[in-house]
Amino acid sequence: MELNQIIAWAGSLIVGIGVVWKVISKFSGKARRYFSIAKNSLDLLTAVLDAVEDQKIDEVEVATIRKEANELITSLKK
């Protein structure tokens, strides 16, 4: 490999890393919010399915569902 090729390769690598870094930094806040919403939705769904599974809903399960629903609502408002 010649020196010019090495310099061109290194330059394109640095520019590529910079572009990826910029894209990640631009969309990381939105992605984090969407992942939080998805996680809270799945937690709520899991709590509901756990409560329905035994066909008896007790106070602990209601409290868990209420907590998960409030967390989902909070993440949707952000």
Residue with tokens 């020196």: 3
- Predicted pLDDT at 66: 93
- Predicted pLDDT at 39: 94
The predicted model scores a pTM of 0.65
Report pLDDT digits (tens) over 24-74: 888 888 888 999 999 999 999 999 998 888 888 889 899 999 999 999 999
Does position 3 have pLDDT exceeding 90, yes or no? no
- Distance, in Å, from the CA atom of 21 to the CA atom of 33, rounded to the nearest integer, reads 19
- Distance, in Å, from the CA atom of 33 to the CA atom of 28, rounded to the nearest integer, reads 8
Report pLDDT digits (tens) over 9-35: 999 999 999 999 998 888 888 888 999
- CA angle 63–64–65, rounded 5-degree value: 90
> What are the residue ranges spanned by the domains of the chain?
3-77
Residue type, 44: L
